[in-house]
Amino acid sequence: MSTEPETGTPHRVRTWIREHRVGISYALVGLACLLTLVVSMSVWVNRQLLDTDVWVDQSARMLQNEDVRHALALRRQSALQAPR
């Protein structure tokens, strides 16, 4: 049995991976973070923007809150009084 390292392509690939292990780790963590963000945003868009029933229910609950109605009235009033 020979103790010399292999000289073929698999050895070069293993060497390259060993030399770039930290960079590969950072790239995989970055990819996981990006995928998490994309999946989270797609779930939010699906639930909030594309589902009309959920939108109507949440809007109705928000408008039942006195503080929300007051803030909305102040904003509308300032928009109507703003010079054009």
Q: What size, in residues, is the chain?
A: 84
* CB-based contact 54:47 (threshold 8 Å): yes
Model pLDDT, residue 48: 79
Helix (H, G, I), strand (E, B) or coil at 73: helix
Model pLDDT, residue 84: 72
Q: Among 48, 69, 50, 59, which Cα is nearest to 77's? A: 69
Distance CA 70, CA 80 (A): 15
Amino acid present at 71: A
Q: What is the pLDDT of residues 25-83, one digit of tens each?
A: 999 999 999 999 999 999 988 887 888 888 889 889 999 999 999 999 999 999 888 88
